[in-house]
Structure 1
Amino acid sequence: MHKFKDLEIWKRSRVFCSKIYAITSKFSETEKFGLTNQLRRASVLILPNIAEGSSRNSNKDFSRFLQITLGSAYEIETQLLISYDLNFINKEELHLLSKELESIIKMTSKFNSTLK
């Protein structure tokens, strides 16, 4: 069993989630139930999946939750690209968020590979 609050991927994901909330607060009100909701939901889901997986008794179970975490991360990546295409975020914001997300994805993948 792992202490999720001590995991660097959880800490970084928490900061990243806050950034997603901040950036989506600037989106058009018409996107409240569209991209805003989808980005926030996917970024929030990363945290509880890491937390829940860490509570499992086997590495195999934890690994399954980390796979779900990666799915949410790739969902966010796609939604950020759509947000850029629709001019909801600029190139710099896309670059910064994508770079942070890529780091989270790499850390999660690497950590997951140690569980197998």
Structure 2
Amino acid sequence: DQTGCPTYAGDLAQAIITLLQRPVAPRGIYHYGGNKSVTWYEFAQAIFQTAQQQDPNFKVPQLNAITTDQYPLPAPRPAYSIMDCQKIENECGIKASDWQKALNEIIGKLDN
């Protein structure tokens, strides 16, 4: 029941480098994140499905969706934590991270 936009750290680092290379630093608050929202359950499914696509011998474990109440954390988390990244794209030309592409690349590197 928690939704967010996974963001590959390498993409975030590139976005920061791009901002730092600008002749004039943009002012204000800019959000940057993944391009598609998913629940944590859907993200886990995507991770294991990607692993199986790259290695047909990979056995996908059984996943069970749970609610936030069933997994208490010390700090409360918002149910919907999606940031609006239009400002960084419109004003700086930096597009949201394609987390599915990054996931595919990262899973491919794990076996090497």
Sort the TM-score into its range (normalised by shorter chain): 0.3 to 0.5
Structure possessing the higher radius of gyration over alpha carbons: 2
TM-score, normalisation: structure 2: 0.34
Relative CO higher for 1 or 2, CA cutoff 8 Å, sep ≥ 6?
Answer: 2
TM-score, normalisation: structure 1: 0.34
